Structure 1
Amino acid sequence: MNKVVYPKEVLDKMKEIVDNCMGDAAPYCEATCPMHTDVKTYVNLIGDGKGNEAIKVIREKLFLPGTLGRICAHPCEEKCKRGEMRNPMAIAALKRYAADNFDNEKNWDLNIESENGKKVAVIGAGPAGAQAALDLRKKGYKVTVFEKLPVVGGMMRVGIPEYRLPREVIDFEYSLLNKLGVEMKMGVEIGKDIAFDDIKKNYDAVVIAVGAHKGGLIPVEGSNLVGVTNAVDFLRDASLTHRVDGIGKRIAVIGGGNVAIDVARTARRIGVEEVHLVCLEDKAHMPAHTWEVEEAEEEGVVVHDAFGPDEILGADGKVSGFQVKKCVAIFDKEGKFNPQFDLDNKKVLNVDNVVFAVGQAVDNAFAGDKLETTRGGRFVVDPVTLQTKDAKVFVAGDASGRSVIAIEAMAEGRKAATSVDRYLNGKDMTIDRENEGSYETHLETTIKEDEQNLPRVKTKQLDPKERIKSFVEVDLGFNKEDALKEAARCLKCECKLCMKECVMLNDFCECPKDLFKGILETGEIDPKIPYSCNMCSQCTLACPKDFKMSDRFMEIRKKMIVANNGKSPMKGHSAIEMHQMLGFSKVFNTTVEDSREAKVKRVFIPGCSLPSYNPEAVGNILEYLQQKYPGTSAILKCCGKPTKALGQVDKFKERYGELQAEIDKLGATEVIVACQSCYLTISECSPNLKVRSLWEVLPEIGLPKEAIGVGKGSDITIAIHDSCPTRNKSSIHDGIRWAMNEMGYKVEEPPHTRENTRCCGFGGMVVPANPELALRIMKKRTDEVKSDYMVTYCAACRESMVKGGKKAVHILDLVFGGQYNSKREFPGLPGGPIKSWANRYKSKQEMKKRKK
């Protein structure tokens, strides 16, 4: 076959699918997760009771599942579709469930690429530094981590209290770095124990990932008194020693964020009897998580919301009280931070200490003036690459000022590692980086109207009276029953509706975008792909964008025919060529005129499949039509649909022209068809003709007397299969059901019926091109039918239903064949091509008998 050349208008339609198909769009949770964890997959694995598989999926992106399952701010939950019903999935808790119950270090991935001989230094063992070290080590770099603290985890360890994040969880998960061969140098302070310049000199690249370990104060009168401290120092001391020197029995914490809450709750655990939390915001607008505020209040923390600091009172150089004032506005009319206070509304808190939880800064002294810095001690970096003005130095996490929460810091660590790897290999560091970190997915889904708003399952917690006695973990996590119940709420957000419906697409792609993108890039496609399409349009029905994939495949077929000198490139289609040759030969064709009513210009066309299956039914229905509509003529000739389905445009025009010529010769203005493909083809190609289905006509003229009530008393229920070419003709669907009711048979409606019917597997000339696929499509259709018996109004569909495992009849079998019941033998499969053509010839004879 010569190379296929596609015109611009065809390529543009393919590009529309590539540009707008949502089949590859990430779920909202996955796109929002800075590390792009496959949330949907692992949540549903948990729901299926497959915890081992779930933790494997999580660890493909996260090496800290137990840690993040406890402390992640889970931005994914904020974008969860169930959030529209105010009950987002408990994603973090489910991650923790998988980690606590199924994470086994024996299953950790310890594979690394070949050693490349290059060395990278990472400064800081927090989440950003650890992630950078992990990714670089797995790429074959020798990685050394320098950490000022004696323990791993960085601010995640000394800034998040132990009652939220047990230290053994951190140590267990960080042990992966040791297993991979990352060198950890703990208790080493850069700038003091080793010069920053020496590190740059001895390593090929450096990643700075120091946390914001400097606590801030605000200029309040009395802030220099003994007893005033900051949240960073307070939490670090409590984390390392479970005590804080100089803390009395009553303290005030300034701030409304999660750090302030952590300080307040930690204070209760180190023996502080009275804890006051003062914040400018009212409770409804506090930056801290709502549940954190509630848990703090359960533990005895007194929240003074909508108040701000006025003066720290002192005696003998020490804190003796804290005066606060009512805050009436936080921002001015321009939206700038500019708190306004009611100076007539003040109160004094009797406290021994004041802890500021109002911001943190980075200690960048170790770098001297070698790197450019900005507000809060953060380093200035390229926003895409995280590279500093020193080409071999990169920054991630708090040190860049671009991350706020742990998982964002990890994403920056990964981003920095990617840049380092490209830098050391001389690759472009800027390309294909648009979706690093959180991004907006192009997925568009809606919640079904009948979707139940299931409540979010909550984890169990220790009693407040017990939990303030120690740093034992407060949240107990999910048990199995609760985890499965919560996981079952997932809406499985995705747009692969066409993939769920179409067997063929699943054989060749992850989504339609894959297929057409490949054609646009290479100009090539395996002929088996377009010729495996049933042309049933079920994908289009399912597609929110209404992409007409079958039209695209038909365009490809047409171009392949041209490139292959007018022939199909599929060997199996030689049978179709033979069918069409015989279907238009005089041996198997005839035209039967009924001249009794010359003014009635009506012609009956039974098609190809019915005459090849049941000649007697063809003759009987023609005779009945002539009785009711005197002057009805008939034509036994193919409409050329198989030729059209192959993509043979010119040959189809020629062959259809033969049928049109016969219709014109008779002077017919109305056509009655028994075949649904004929209905569609003639309607499209002869718009001036009135085209009606036999099943629109019979309700007008009634069934033959012997057919009325024939099915009453039958012990079988017959499922109706609607033909997909006329899926949009409700009048045909109605006519079939009218006939079944008139005959008295009990009927089953399959899940996909009428306009939503599924293809029988025969369409598009798929059977000779891809018989194994066709059989699976047939089975998909029959598997959804409960009854063992089916009725069709297309003989080809009937054969498909038999191949799919059902006892199937054509509806004319029921009309003219007497009662069908469980004891009667059903037609079964045809006897092969010779038998079919013998039937076709016999149909010719049957029709000629009715010539008037």
Structure 2
Amino acid sequence: MGVLKAEVIEKMQDLVENCMGDSNAACSSTCPMNTDVKEYVKLIGEGKGEESIKVVRDKLFIPGILGRICAHPCEKACRRGEEDNPISIAYLKRYVADNFDNPEDWDLLKEEDKNKKIAIIGAGPAGAQGAIDLAKKGYSVTIFEKLPVVGGMMRVGIPEYRLPREVIEKEYSILEKLGIELKLGIEIGKDISFETLKNDFDAILVAVGRQAGRVDKSLENSGAEGIFNAAEYLKEISLTQNFEKSGKRVVVIGGGDVAMDCARSSKRVSGVESVVSIPLEPSFESMPSSNHEIYGAVEEKVDFKLGYGIERILVDENNRVTGLEIKKCISIFDEAGNFSPKFDMDQKEVVEADTIVFAIGQGVDNSFDSEKKLLTRRNGTFEADNLSMQSVSDEKIFVAGDCASSFIVVEAMAEGRRAATSIDRFLNGKDLLEGRSIENEGGYATKLHLPVEYLPEGWDAAEKVKRVIPASLPGETRIKSFAEVEKVFTKVEAEKEANRCLQCECKLCMKECIMLNDYTDCPKTLFKDYLEKGYDHIDAKIAYSCNMCDQCTLKCPKEFNIKGNFAGMRSEYIKDNHGKSPMAGHKAIEVHQYLGYSKLFNTTNKAPKNKKTKYVFFPGCSLPSYNPEAVGNVLEHLQNKLNGEVGSLLKCCGKPPKALGQDDLFKERFKSVQDELDKVEAEVVIVACQSCHGIFNAYSKQKVVSLWELLPEIGLPESQIGVGKGSDVKFNIHDSCSIRKMTSIHDGIRWIVNELGYEVEELENSREKTRCCGFGGMIVPAVPEVASKVMQRRAAETTTGHMITYCAACRESMEKGGTDAQHILDLVFGEKYTKSKSMKRNSGPVKQWMNRYKSKIELNKRG
């Protein structure tokens, strides 16, 4: 394996560890089922509902249910929410489920029968998800549910006005379609023993819910008639749309979603005249319940006594509840953050009630395990591995959902899926954890986070704060029945909301760089390969396809120096190849360098007439090969303006070997340039080439100034000022990427064009945001197909059809790309340029070397 320099490896490792290119959007990563939220929301915005529901159903078997009742951690993590309001992801899911979910399209494919039996206790979302995954893998699955209906606590704990029962029945019908046996109304531990189940089945998934409600037993009269826990209260209402033992005045204790469900359900129960909610929290904002649940309760005229706790329960002579004495809560948690409410005993009042519902938490129902062989945690959940979900008590028992560690439906589903994966591995004798992670099988915090300046252009096109919310039934209407309160989005609403999505993704470098897209999906993937396989086991063509333009770094929020990594590899390829480039096309560069340093094409001239050679004009390689007359004219103009103290040097600065990674050869070549400068005792080098500017700035003893900075100081030839006025050509300016940070050069070029009198229309990608012309990095002879694409893209950006460059190589690239292009010196020393003078100016290598020789003559004439 080849060994790169330590600093290059360090840069690569930093990129691999911190690049966000392969990171999911927060909505998808935070979803415990890793649903591709970004994709299905995009499809909704494009009006592709049928395609969208397929993306949703790829991970979720209950899209209609989740679209109504999911706690949507995806929305809490939504990047847009940091700027105004998060996308209404759950409502969008409901929209496609209600309008486009056709059971005939459901995936019912199953693997070959594995002749193994799985028992699942509980038909809630965790058990159902586990059953579906296992059935599809070819296992025989039986679900035992003590309730007479499917859905578990989701079915009997969430009111019908939030979750219509027909939606549950429709989406749960996939169980029977997959051949899963449902045994409803069967209670394990009562109708069938847990031990019998263990003996009759190859593996068991325990997915029981939190069906054991709580009442504050520390209160006097807590066992009085008219006191109920939330679980039993909501269960009866869910099954019957009534609660027979309820009185006229209901009080609900608690401030969470379950408390709001109890309060709102009570408003619909026959005979109930008033409902009061009593949370410890002093404000709606501080209550743990979801905002929409609180708003719903307020709209339905539930009364609130915010910030109170119970002092005592009042009863009559028949031990029937008559009311509550409540006391003002002044704090809920102690300094350590522990639950330890404190009260003001001087602020008390009495609330009349004949029914009290405690919504203060629920426990796991473990009655199925009559011998209590499954170890439990302090909170009553079963001890199990958090990833494999395997019980610590028995290797053939797995747990998921409320009885494991989940708190919301979609988390329960994720645990059911993890358990199913583990059961499959267990029954096939495989390691339960190898190659697995929560990132792939549960919600996690993504690395992806784009600062505002890196958000997509036009991200705020959808009006800020205008998050679309579906309509709902009026409060006074909805409490008359258990009909669904919230309506589904219309097509217009759904598409408008979906199009607020930022489509979060950090592949800004990939969107910018043509070359990277030919070889990888993101830099992280590419450089991970380099680190694992070694640069010498990966095609050198990749490193030599980089234009070295820095545009990827400019676009990257973390400013990774990708160019530097490729440059480091080039140096190693050169060492491995005995000082030569491994790219066959670069033999042309060797010829170019041979000629570029030969006496035939080199010349050094002191200032004329025995003047001091304070300045040396260095035209570079590409300009002399393109326009020898301009080279001579520039030198003459400089001598006229700078007291004659200007000499010249025609030679290559050494950039080609530097770009190829021939570091030793570059040092040798540049030394020959430096020797010539020292020979004439120059103080300042005037460069016309931007690549030369970079080289001299980094390595020369002399001060370096760009011709394009100098001309605004000394002025243009008087005869040329205003020459372009009245021209029918409007120009774009292509800025060289090698000096993208040099504002003074950008300004100088624009000053020159303005002095000449030509009109300019700025490109979107100009100045510091300019794009490469396709010539950089010496890729033209090595990877011409990439160079061609880069040239064509840049040339196509012209808005006028006419481009000004101040690099002759850039000018050649623009013409190859398909647009009319002028070097700025064509204009500085030429006649008025008009559309009629547009023509092809590129020439072959023979003509270019002839021009190079002519440039030598021009410089010598003025030496």
Equivalent residue for 1:196?
A: 194
* Letter of the structure 1 residue corresponding to residue 576 of structure 2: A
Equivalent residue for 1:328?
A: 330
Equivalent residue for 1:95?
A: 93
Equivalent residue for 1:370?
A: 373
Equivalent residue for 1:399?
A: 403
**Equivalent pairs: percent with the same residue?**
57
- Tell me if the contact between 2:613 and 2:680 (Cα under 8 Å) persists in the aligned partners: no
Worse-superposed segment, 442-451 or 204-213:
442-451
SS at match of 1:808: strand
- Tell me if the contact between 1:617 and 1:816 (Cα under 8 Å) persists in the aligned partners: yes
Unaligned runs of at least 5 residues, structure 2: none
Equivalent residue for 1:84?
A: 82
For residues 333 and 733 of structure 1, do their structure 2 counterparts lie closer, same or farther at Cα, with a shift above 3 Å needed?
closer
SS at match of 1:285: coil
Residue from 691, 696, 699 that aligns with 2:709: 696
Deviation at 1:317, TM superposition (A): 4.0
Equivalent residue for 2:240?
A: 241
Q: 2: CA distance between counterparts of 1:437 and 1:817? A: 68
* Letter of the structure 1 residue corresponding to residue 498 of structure 2: A
* Letter of the structure 2 residue corresponding to residue 297 of structure 1: V
Question: Does the alignment pair 1:746 with 2:748?
Answer: no
Equivalent residue for 1:682?
A: 696
Question: What is the 5 A alignment of 1:752-771?
Answer: 752-771=765-784
Q: 2: CA distance between counterparts of 1:834 and 1:497? A: 41
Question: Does the alignment pair 1:122 with 2:123?
Answer: no
Listed one character per residue, the Cα deviations across residues 8-64 of structure 1 (whole Å, up to 9, x for unaligned) are 333222111112222223333233222222323333333333333333332333222
* Letter of the structure 1 residue corresponding to residue 510 of structure 2: M
Question: Does the alignment pair 1:155 with 2:133?
Answer: no
Deviation at 1:252, TM superposition (A): 1.7
Equivalent residue for 1:337?
A: 339
Equivalent residue for 1:278?
A: 278
* Letter of the structure 1 residue corresponding to residue 585 of structure 2: G
Q: 1: CA distance between counterparts of 2:674 and 2:710? A: 22
Residue from 671, 683, 692 that aligns with 1:657: 671
Residue from 658, 664, 689 that aligns with 1:644: 658
Q: 2: CA distance between counterparts of 1:235 and 1:200? A: 32
Equivalent residue for 1:438?
A: 443
SS at match of 2:653: coil
Residue from 480, 499, 504 that aligns with 1:493: 504
* Letter of the structure 1 residue corresponding to residue 375 of structure 2: E
Question: What is the 5 A alignment of 1:445-524?
Answer: 445-448=450-453, 453-523=464-534, 524=537
Equivalent residue for 1:718?
A: 731
Equivalent residue for 1:267?
A: 266
TM-score, length of structure 1 as denominator length: 0.94
- Tell me if the contact between 2:459 and 2:500 (Cα under 8 Å) persists in the aligned partners: no
Deviation at 1:415, TM superposition (A): 2.4
Question: Does the alignment pair 1:800 with 2:813?
Answer: yes
* Letter of the structure 2 residue corresponding to residue 237 of structure 1: E
Residue from 787, 797, 814 that aligns with 2:800: 787
SS at match of 1:233: helix
SS at match of 1:653: helix
Worse-superposed segment, 784-793 or 194-203:
194-203
SS at match of 1:226: coil
- Tell me if the contact between 1:225 and 1:314 (Cα under 8 Å) persists in the aligned partners: no
Number of aligned residue pairs: give it.
846
Question: Does the alignment pair 1:70 with 2:68?
Answer: yes
- Tell me if the contact between 1:313 and 1:323 (Cα under 8 Å) persists in the aligned partners: no
For residues 733 and 126 of structure 1, do their structure 2 counterparts lie closer, same or farther at Cα, with a shift above 3 Å needed?
same
* Letter of the structure 1 residue corresponding to residue 282 of structure 2: D
Worse-superposed segment, 402-411 or 801-810:
801-810
* Letter of the structure 2 residue corresponding to residue 634 of structure 1: S
Deviation at 1:756, TM superposition (A): 2.0
RMSD, matched Cα = 2.3
Residue from 545, 548, 551 that aligns with 2:561: 548
* Letter of the structure 1 residue corresponding to residue 524 of structure 2: K
SS at match of 2:368: helix
- Tell me if the contact between 2:46 and 2:495 (Cα under 8 Å) persists in the aligned partners: yes
* Letter of the structure 2 residue corresponding to residue 652 of structure 1: F
Question: What is the 5 A alignment of 1:585-600?
Answer: 585-600=598-613
Question: Does the alignment pair 1:668 with 2:682?
Answer: yes
Q: 2: CA distance between counterparts of 1:477 and 1:516? A: 46
Worse-superposed segment, 387-396 or 636-645:
636-645
Deviation at 1:482, TM superposition (A): 2.1
SS at match of 2:658: helix
Unaligned runs of at least 5 residues, structure 1: none
- Tell me if the contact between 1:4 and 1:560 (Cα under 8 Å) persists in the aligned partners: no
Worse-superposed segment, 350-359 or 121-130:
350-359
Listed one character per residue, the Cα deviations across residues 716-763 of structure 1 (whole Å, up to 9, x for unaligned) are 211111101111222211110110010011111111221221111210
Deviation at 1:595, TM superposition (A): 3.1
For residues 396 and 778 of structure 1, do their structure 2 counterparts lie closer, same or farther at Cα, with a shift above 3 Å needed?
same
TM-score, length of structure 2 as denominator length: 0.93
Deviation at 1:86, TM superposition (A): 5.5
Q: 1: CA distance between counterparts of 2:104 and 2:790? A: 42
For residues 338 and 56 of structure 1, do their structure 2 counterparts lie closer, same or farther at Cα, with a shift above 3 Å needed?
same
Worse-superposed segment, 573-582 or 204-213:
573-582
Q: 2: CA distance between counterparts of 1:617 and 1:260? A: 84
SS at match of 2:386: coil
SS at match of 1:438: coil
Q: 2: CA distance between counterparts of 1:829 and 1:162? A: 77
Equivalent residue for 2:354?
A: 352
* Letter of the structure 1 residue corresponding to residue 442 of structure 2: G
For residues 330 and 384 of structure 1, do their structure 2 counterparts lie closer, same or farther at Cα, with a shift above 3 Å needed?
same
Q: 2: CA distance between counterparts of 1:797 and 1:35? A: 50
Worse-superposed segment, 318-327 or 633-642:
318-327
* Letter of the structure 2 residue corresponding to residue 277 of structure 1: S
Question: What is the 5 A alignment of 1:139-154?
Answer: 139-154=137-152
Equivalent residue for 2:32?
A: 34
Equivalent residue for 2:177?
A: 179
Equivalent residue for 1:21?
A: 19
Deviation at 1:112, TM superposition (A): 4.1
Deviation at 1:643, TM superposition (A): 1.8
